[in-house]
Amino acid sequence: MKTNELCNCFILRKGASNLTFIYDKALSRSGIRVTQYALLKYIYLLSSPNLKQLATALNQNRSTVGRNIKILERIKLVSLKVGKDKRQIEIILTEHGLNTLHKARKAWEVMQKKISSKLGKEKQKQLIELMNDIKAISL
């Protein structure tokens, strides 16, 4: 075991953490973090989805998404509407949530352009290919 040995997982996690920090800082004036921005964006795009639809679209665990939705509800960015079947809960953007999404979107676009410019098209293409390759690895 060596301190300088290559660990793909650590490198990717550190890179993701750095990128999250950059986006969080960019979105700070909107009052939300990039992870919350992603949730609001998909709620908007899916037009008031239920929890299962949202979790599927985000490729995330349903219970994790549920916990994060509760936070958005607590800060009044979304409201929850119980359907005929009490297990079916529709997630609705509030007016405050929509305004926050639009404000965050502007900051996200600025940072997205900055990062895209820094990486260039070739490195962005390679990054996407790398992530797809990693996703395709089977155990």
Q: How many domains does the chain have?
A: 1
Alpha helices in the chain (DSSP H): 8-27, 34-45, 51-58, 62-74, 95-135
The answer to which of 80-89, 97-106, 112-121 has the lowest mean pLDDT is 80-89
**pLDDT tens column, 44-79:** 999 999 999 999 999 999 999 999 999 999 999 999
Estimate the crossing angle of helix 34-45 against helix 8-27, to 10 degrees. Answer: 80
Residue 23 domain-assigned (yes or no): yes
CB 82 within 8 A of CB 88: yes
**CATH number for the domain that contains residue 86:** 1.10.10.10
For residue 25, is it within any domain? yes
Question: Residue 86's domain spans which residues?
Answer: 15-114
Report d(CA 135, CA 139) in Å as an integer: 11
What pTM, to 2 d.p., does this model score?
0.89
Tens digits of residue pLDDT in 102-129? 999 999 999 999 999 999 999 999 999 9
Q: Is residue 2 part of a domain?
A: no
